[in-house]
Structure 1
Amino acid sequence: MTAAMQSTAMPTAEQHGLKAHSDGAGSFVPVQTRSERFRSVKVADFEPVTGREHEWKLSPVAAFADLTGGELDGSRFEIEATDVSGVDVSWIGRDDARIGAAGTPEERASANAWSTFGEALLVKVTGEDEKVATITRSGLGSSPRAAHTVIEAAPYSRALVVLRGTGDARLTENVEILVGEGAQLTVVSLQEWTDESVHLASHFARIGRDAKLKHIVVSLGGKVVRLNPSTHLAEQGGDVEALGLYFSDAGQHLEQQVFVHHDAPNTRSRVTYKGALQGEGARSVWIGDVLIGNAAVGTDSYEQNRNLVLTDGTRADSVPNLEIETGDIAGAGHASATGRFDDEQLFYLMARGITEDEARRLVVRGFLVEIVQQIGSPELEARLIAALEAELQGS
């Protein structure tokens, strides 16, 4: 057989295109899912923030560069705590075993706070009776600060803990929430900062066997508020309700990146965030990530985000995501909607003698109050409804 005949009878791999391509070889592959994100408690392990990173691309990073990369004051600060039996508030050192038990920073601002804080504020909940405790931070000032808080609910304990921020602040912080077996804990994070304040927060929650956490974020004040709650349903029967309420005015940026990790059998999660926007430059960001791990059989999960646009010149970003690693689940779903007033609702109210302005306030109040009414404290609910009414006076 000649060389020419051999070439015809036995085609080479190159003739069929079976050779390695160099296109894209060694190129960077971006993180595709929330579960793949890098984590570290050391700020030096993270690259400087540019705004092009997946976790920062919707955030006004120039407004808080001092919190992501600058020096922070991590010293103890003044707090005001209600005196309630079964809720003890104290300070603990960085070497306490509870620190780091709920989670690890996924981004530079969180790691900067973790690397800097001197002592952590501990809120310890015990006792099976219902109780309400409020911890208020109001004197943080305008210098960049770091903080770390641990909220620990003992097994079978019950409580509602309100973590409230008022006054001036430039704060980056981490909040760890440990919910023991059979405990039922509600944590309300209430942002009522002044108009020029900036608050970056990462909340990490670990939920024990047959325990339930209701986590509620209420963001009303502050120029930039970015609060990202992550919940780890680590043991069988764990349950989380993650609720959020925000009202963004002109020039205000309110952001939430929610992560729920189902990591054990027969766990349940419900995520509902609602927001309203009014005024030129009002901005909201909501990203909802749910991971159902391969061991989380019987998972029941649903997340939703609803935004009500009250004026022109606003922007609402809403991105729900589901990552499912097992098909043996009870259910999983998500929904997202952004829209203006319902004209039929307005017409119905105005046809009964209600003015257009009052009708609009009633529609917005009805839209948002659903979240407020799930807090479980009549006094706090009434105060927040009054605060919403005050926000609406400008609509």
Structure 2
Amino acid sequence: MLDWEHIFATRSSRMRASEIRELLKLLEQPDIISFAGGIPDPALFPDEAFKQAYADIFSGPQINAALQYSVSEGYKPLREWLVGEMAKIGIPCSVDNVFITSGSQQALDYLGKLFLSPKDTALVTWPTYLGALQAFNAYEPTYDQLSLNGNRTPDGYREAAAKAGGAVKFAYLSSDFSNPTGETVDRAGREKLLELADELDVAIIEDAAYQNLRYDGEPVPPIMALDIARNGGIENTRTIYSGSFSKTLAPGLRVGFVVAAMPVIRKLVLMKQAADLHSSTINQIAIAHVAERIFPEQVAKIKKAYSARRDAMLAALDKYMPAGATWTKPEGGMFVWVRLPEGMDGAELLARSIQTEKVAFVPGKAFYADGSNNNTLRLSFSCASEAMIEEGIQRLGRLIGTAVAEAA
């Protein structure tokens, strides 16, 4: 058999299977209560609206355009709709500032390609979205911990990046109800990040995949909105806003978007032309049809369902978790982050949980760029009923309590 390893590019050695994608296979097992996949509930998809949208496309004058090659920037009516939505959250922009991607994951891949040369440094939160690490890994960066509490100086970041053999290129974070912790960066933290990025003269990648999923608390302006307010317009900003329809309408259509200053958009368009020419035309048109018709109603529907599940999970954690375990209390999104007592290992707990309690979750160390903090785990409540959440957390709490007692 041919030995491929010596032919592969060096970057291929940094490619790792997603623990989350592997765990999604557990959803096919009927006896498993899964809190693993951070995916939307398919029962909440607006399937009737999409049936109508595709029927309209196939029976109307758009059909030829829908099945044809299209422009790399994306379907213009969808981008125009997004311009209106951006204005509502304090991000005035033009259609030329909006770029459609094949899901927000493609946006992260493109942005990693755009900014990172081997050994350059990406600042990421500790923990951070696993998919971002996978996207950036291919471009052979160094990671440094993004701190918003003032314990790191710009010079400290520069020196660490230079020691690693490159320069700091961007700060990446999920600002609202982040994956994996469910936490939100407050306004003061966002302002500090803008000041840090100004000092370092680097980009900010704002992953806003969950921004629409706020259940309570006061909204915080997007980092890009604060950047625009400081600098007088989107063309003067260093923030790149990445969004998606996956958590609100349907993930299977793979439609995401980037909002940024024109120099960034122009480079992304060139990448799109080289990679896949354009995102699926017919899917973009269908998303535009559905978004224009029912987006506010759809968001209200999923927020009502997910909010109840979030409340059920927090209540069950309060009821069943043993002393020594702590967890976040998110105001939105799909996740609760649990920190186990010191000395416990999330991966070992998962193996035991699957075997004895039939409960799945994601071990937390996968979300750390350095593979640390193995006494953490991520729970998703989006695809479990309130009854399943009650039963699953009771089982998990029992298992953790047993493990704590055994270690005592």
In the superposition, the TM-score normalised over structure 2's length comes to 0.27
Q: Which has the higher helix share?
A: 2
Q: Which has the higher strand share?
A: 1
In the superposition, the TM-score normalised over structure 1's length comes to 0.27
For the pair shown, the structure with the greater C-alpha radius of gyration is 1
